[in-house]
Structure 1
Amino acid sequence: MRHGVMLEQDTLASGDLDLSALVASFDQYTAFGATDPSEMAERIGNADCVIINKLPVNAELLAALPQLKLICVVATGVNNIDLTAAKAHGVDVVNCRAYGTAAVSQHVLCLMLALSTQLLPYANAVASGRWQSARHFCFLDYPIEELAGKTLLIVGHGELGSAVGRLAAALGMQVEIAERPDAKETRSGRVAFATAIEKADVVTLHCPLTPSTQNLINKEVLARMKRSAFIINTARGGIVNEQDLADALRTGEIAGAGIDVLSEEPPRNGNPLLASDIPNLIVTPHTAWGSQPARQRIVDQTVENIQAWKAGEPIRQVT
């Protein structure tokens, strides 16, 4: 009998998804809206498959669940799982891929456009009565930039980075792809990170969080960027040193930033980028991926992953 347990259903579905095929994939399906890490072992129990999003899976947990055979991650990132321990315990790990390309790329574009057009300052000014009392038909208190002709630097040129590049090119931007910061050589079609960062008008991050990308964007890098530059992060919070970015925005070292991810989510312990005095900063709550079609694709891919695993031919396998 196949028993599947979903531990974080509320992070994926809010009543607007069809979960029937997922439920039907198991003889027994148990779903929890949210789960504390301390509850994981008890709730997984004798299930042979667990479905998670961001909950941590470590060696200690795996050792306590000898019957567990499959971890389905309803996301792409698997940095919350001890993959070495999973392999040692004979637990397969599968994830979802390319489900949010349209949603994330349009969110990146939205942040770029909002920053360049000063969308929020103008909307807030209208809400506060500034337009109603204006002398002329308009007011131009906040400088508006055009993205056409500007240089976009993509850091991480996979599925998402490529999609953002296509959208930016349609706006007339010059698109450049950064080489890995620690690379010994620069591949054809890419530009060295150290020099490209100095020329970029917009930097957008799409790389995974690894030891080599932790704090990739720090005060030294920010100091080399144009004072008119924007930085967009829809990848992982730890790629950007958040205190350094807050300081750079306050001092005008760069012109603006659009952030969809933080180093701790939710930021219950505060975060330097949540201060109210940081100019030209837009922070969204990790929602770039969250369109209804993208979330339904996650469910559909998870069903595919489970069915392929049951047939002995796993797909989208991480370990």
Structure 2
Amino acid sequence: MDATVKRKKRLSKAHWFVISGLTPILLIYTYLRFIPILKTFYMSLFNWDLVSMDKPFIGFDNYIELFQSDMFLISLYNTTIIAFGILIFNVPLALLISNALVRRIKFKSWFEAIYFLPVITPMVPVTVVWKMILDSNSGLLNYFISFFGIAPKAWLLDPTLAIISVIMLTVWKTVGYNMLIFLVGLKGISKEYYEAAAIDGATGAKAFWHITLPIMKPITVFVSVITLIHGYNVFSQIYILASDVQGSPGYVVRVLVYDMIENGFRFFKMGYSSAEAVILFAIVFVLTLIQMGLAKEKTTSSKGMK
């Protein structure tokens, strides 16, 4: 009995030690993260002007105005196209690269480093380099496609091509991060599955389709949702690639984060901008719930199989 009491006291002390260590961190995190989120919700219900002391309560008028604004709808549409474009190309490409690298190939570490190098490179200098590559007059991309008889393209002037350019840049920049996550998952798959499948004649593409993809589903869901969330927060690429175009940065392709920043800090419509931030938060929140639901469904089905 005495040993049990002593063990409970030690556990109690350990719990209080952990709580006392985490409390300052949680307080700082709450102050820096949760309070600004609540403040944003609050501001979205007011006609909040940065230069005016009068901030009348207007309820959901900012939200109504949002969905009546062509600029907001265009921004939301462009952001959605870019986010899903990044998802469609990034996730399958990262999975294929990681599946190739998990095999025994020469210089595997070098290939992993080469693919991951763009991830740790800052976005701004990367985008500046890509802007020179995509230049319609002297860019390397137009020079390269000229060998195939393709006429030069205005990659940063045409809205459709500008969206494609942003997707290309972002996929190139972030594919290494997703590749690394997939590599961790692939290395955890037991070789016994593939050996058993090989006996039944399932090798190569069949083994990948019937073994690798089902086992990697939880990781694929996680990577897909994270990629979508990052896609909806795209800003730096748009701002730099489209700068100095017709005298207004971001003119060719307008995205949600840029529209939010412009309304808040250029036109001082902070209440309206906060409503846009709430919409973006809602999109990210829904995507997170989808991820949690799919992951829970996969865990439940796995337990059922056992």
Judge same fold: TM > 0.5, yes or no: no
- Which structure carries more strand by proportion? 1
Please classify the TM superposition score into its range, dividing by the shorter chain length: under 0.3
TM-score normalised according to structure 2 size: 0.24
Q: Select the structure with the greater relative contact order (CA < 8 A; seq sep ≥ 6).
A: 2
